[in-house]
Amino acid sequence: MHRRWFWMFLLLGFATGIASAQSTGIRLSWTNNLLTVRDPSLPGGTLDVFYLEAFCIPGGHERSWGETRIPHQTQLLTSTPDGSELRFRSTIGSEIEVLHEVRTGHGDTLIEMDFLLVHRGTNSWNVQWFQPACMRVDRFTGASQSNYTAQSFIFTAAGRTPLDQIRRTTNALYRGGQVYLPPWVQEQDANPRPIAIDRIANGLIGCVSSDGKSILALASDRTFELFEGVYVCLHSDPWIGGLAPGATRRIRQKLYRMPNDTDRLLRQYGRDFPRTDDGGF
């Protein structure tokens, strides 16, 4: 049954439908786990995204990163001639199959990512969260590792907040970077980088262009953590919550590119990722 689902996915796409992006002028390519978004309107003409980075088990904050990541392999299955859509298959261990695609968006959405996780084995897997997209923002911000936090932001109880104004910490198993958690995630489950004192108010993380006129922002379904990394990068890392035999999980992620307008960003995010019944995001 799962194998039949796999081929249906390849032939038909997700049930929500796949819109053609031939008129956008944006082209996607992927090699050696690096997704390249080519768009003449971007600073430098390209945006690099490390894709996919890691699938993780709980309890990782006090444990080495190598013990938290679950080995996975990713292969590119198809790409459209116009560069508007890429389809992939990843395997986690020997029992979980992840069918995923990246496609160019419309309007304020630069790219969209969809993931379908299928457990086709007999043993439960405690895969709690994953890092699908490590967005490299050095060219967009014109900044370096030492200062890009001033141009990057999340949303806290105080509203849109630059990362250099967050109540930060420095002590962790690995120094550098900063983890931003929603209220429901336990610190012991986060990645082994320093955890900010302030909790996030939604699942958006973004940055401002070097000229101050536009923003890039990442968001996904149920947020496990937002992360400012050590490669001039930003993450919105989704929650999976484990997979029992026969279980499936669908997860979406979007990368926005729009004018530097906070209200516009929040409206688009609210339409794409409405709050869950339990108040989560």
Task: State residue 44's pLDDT score.
Answer: 85
Q: For residue 218, which of 144, 112, 147, 100 has the smallest C-alpha distance?
A: 112
Q: Which tokens is 121 given? A: 């084995």
Task: State residue 7's pLDDT score.
Answer: 46
Question: Which CATH code is given to the segment(s) 2-9+25-272?
Answer: 2.70.98
Q: For residue 87, which of 72, 103, 109 has the smallest C-alpha distance?
A: 103
Per cent of the chain over pLDDT 70 is: 91
- CB neighbour list of residue 32: distance below 8 Å, 6 or more residues apart: none
Choice between 21 and 157, residue whose per-residue pLDDT is larger: 157
**What is the rounded distance in angstroms from the CA atom of residue 261 to the CA atom of residue 268?**
11
21 — pLDDT class (breaks 50, 70, 90):
very low
Q: Which tokens is 276 given? A: 């869950």
Does the predicted model carry a pTM greater than 0.85?
yes
Q: For residue 141, which of 39, 209, 206, 235 has the smallest C-alpha distance?
A: 209
Arithmetic mean of pLDDT, 41-50: 94
8 — pLDDT class (breaks 50, 70, 90):
low
Ordered alpha helix ranges (H), 28-148: 65-68, 138-141
**DSSP annotation string for 187-243:** GGGS-SS-B-SSPPSSS-EEEE-TTSSEEEEEEESSEEEEEE-SSSEEEEEEB---B
280 — pLDDT class (breaks 50, 70, 90):
confident
Domain boundary assignment for the chain: 2-9+25-272
Q: Is the pLDDT of residue 226 over 80?
A: yes
**Element spanning 9, H or E:** helix 2-12
